[in-house]
Amino acid sequence: MLYSASGSVLALPVFRRLFTAQVVALVGTGLLTVALGLLAYEIAASAAGAVLGTALAIKMAAYVCLAPIMSALTDRLPRKTVLVAADVVRAATALALPFVDQVWQVYVLIFVLQAASATFTPTFQAVISSVVRDENQYTRALTLSRLAYDLESLLSPLLAAALLTVISFHTLFLGTSLGFVLSAAMVMSTVLPKYAAPEQVAPFLQRATNGTRAFLANPALRGLLALNVVVASATALVVVNSVVYVRDLLGGSNTGVAIALGFYGAGSMAAALCIPRIVVFVSDRRLMLGGAGVACGGTAAAALVAATATGGAAGWVALGLVWSMMGVGTSVIGTLAGRVLRRESDEHTRTSIFTAQFALSHAAFLFTYPAAGWIGAQGGQVAAAMVLATLATLATLSAARLWSPAQISVVASA
């Protein structure tokens, strides 16, 4: 529910326009996910998982390395300028992707596009925190933002599936570019609060690492860091290897790839819609660890799907159930992460901690994306799923230990 005593967060005109900008950009990003997998398959055929895994590892490298750097470099620029410039770069890069025919070209363009995204997303989150002042409304804004990501996971693949019945997948990149253009237009037409640039007191390196150092000093956030590995393991299997599961193991079509990703999005959305009611009775920690267990189980079950895959209805039912299961587990962790971040920060540290979460949460993908692709290409999909399931299980156990009630009590009494 998006209402509180202070009213609906969507009643705030500035937030409503910014949220609309986020939604249209996410639709474009969803089309990009489907189109990029099909482009990799066109260039590399059965080795598509390896190509896509490397491309997504480059994406994660840009997120991890550039987010804190760009945050420090742009901290004196107007927020609107930063957001619009990042969208323009993303739109131009997406337009160039349909024309590539070499693997290295894909890698270069993905790096440029994701460098712009590493600039846009933390800045956008910082703007929202200054636009939505009321604490209850801000919490609901975070929830609404998460639901937007879930809807993108569900609806964008379905939209892509519909479009692929009448156009080639190359044209999907045009939709991606259009989403970023519309996002830039919405931001340009929005009157943002006057931005007060911080005084340049601390050295650049200190400003770039403040959030990470604060993040790693907190038991709850260290537990969240381990849970990010669970999300990365399950998500990598879905994003990197769905095209191989559908095209090679199930004998499906390009449209089937989009439908498989839609199963994952459906599970994610179902979990997000249930969480507001469940969290009243279950602590964030227990619920997130439970979600991690579901994600681990789904990742392990993916190995069974790969081992017994058939092209009939049974194979598709199994794939749909397992992909939905992984969507549920990762969504529980991702949705509640914002609550943990807000609770463990204050108005002075919130922006830097959110930036640190953006960078650190993507760091695990530097391993899981290429692992999913290369192990799948060299050792088969059963081996890839089992490696990722083992990693997710170890991360879940680590999170339970790092974020234990005993650890929290020690910090509270310090």
Q: Which domains are delineated in the chain? A: 11-193+203-407 (1.20.1250.20)
Is 94 a residue whose pLDDT tops 70?
A: yes
**Greater confidence, 113 or 187?**
187
Task: List, for residues 166-181, the tens digit of each pLDDT value.
Answer: 777 778 888 888 989 9
- Place 195 in a pLDDT band, splitting at 50, 70 and 90: low
Distance from the Cα of residue 57 to its chain's centroid: 13
Task: List, for residues 128-143, the tens digit of each pLDDT value.
Answer: 877 877 756 766 776 7
Closest-CA residue to 183 (of 25, 13, 386, 68)? 25
Query: Which pLDDT does position 6 carry in this prediction?
Result: 45
Query: Which pLDDT does position 11 carry in this prediction?
Result: 80
Query: Which pLDDT does position 208 carry in this prediction?
Result: 67
**What's the mean pLDDT when you consider all of the chain?**
81
Task: List, for residues 373-411, the tens digit of each pLDDT value.
Answer: 889 888 888 999 999 999 999 999 999 999 877 555 444
Query: Which pLDDT does position 223 carry in this prediction?
Result: 93
**Among residues of the chain, what percentage have pLDDT more than 90?**
20
Is 308 a residue whose pLDDT tops 50?
A: yes
Is 291 a residue whose pLDDT tops 90?
A: yes
Tell me the pTM. Answer: 0.76
Task: List, for residues 49-79, the tens digit of each pLDDT value.
Answer: 777 777 767 877 888 888 888 777 777 778 7
Query: Which pLDDT does position 409 carry in this prediction?
Result: 42
Query: Which pLDDT does position 198 carry in this prediction?
Result: 58
**Among residues of the chain, what percentage have pLDDT more than 70?**
86
